[in-house]
Amino acid sequence: MRAQLSTLTSSCEVDVLPSGGAAPPAGCGVAIVDEATVAHLLLKGILDPALEVAKLQKKVRVTGCKASALRTSSAEAGNAWCT
């Protein structure tokens, strides 16, 4: 089972934690596989949380600007549904 999990996750190491046993290490992301299985993938050192937050904040700003421009153009065109 460990070899298959290692292949599917492109991981060099797989640890299987006992049900209700030890807590996963800090820095893990969680994926719910089914009602009985939860996968904890160690992301520490792979993802930079501050960089990911900055990317999402930029997307929020860009989307907000686009929404504002759409509201403005719709209001100028007389579309009351958008204002």
Domain of 74, in residue numbers: 49-82
pLDDT bracket for residue 83 (50, 70, 90): very low
Q: What is the pTM of this model?
A: 0.49
Tokens of 41: 């993938």
Asked if 38 and 55 sit in the same domain, the reply is no
Asked if 58 and 35 sit in the same domain, the reply is no
Residues 37-79: pLDDT tens digits? Answer: 888 888 888 888 899 999 999 999 999 999 999 888 887 776 6
Count of the separate structural domains present in the chain: 2
Asked if 7 and 28 sit in the same domain, the reply is yes
Alpha helix (H) residue ranges in the chain: 2-9, 49-76
Q: How many CB atoms lie within 10 A of CB 6?
A: 13
Asked if 63 and 38 sit in the same domain, the reply is no
Asked if 21 and 38 sit in the same domain, the reply is yes
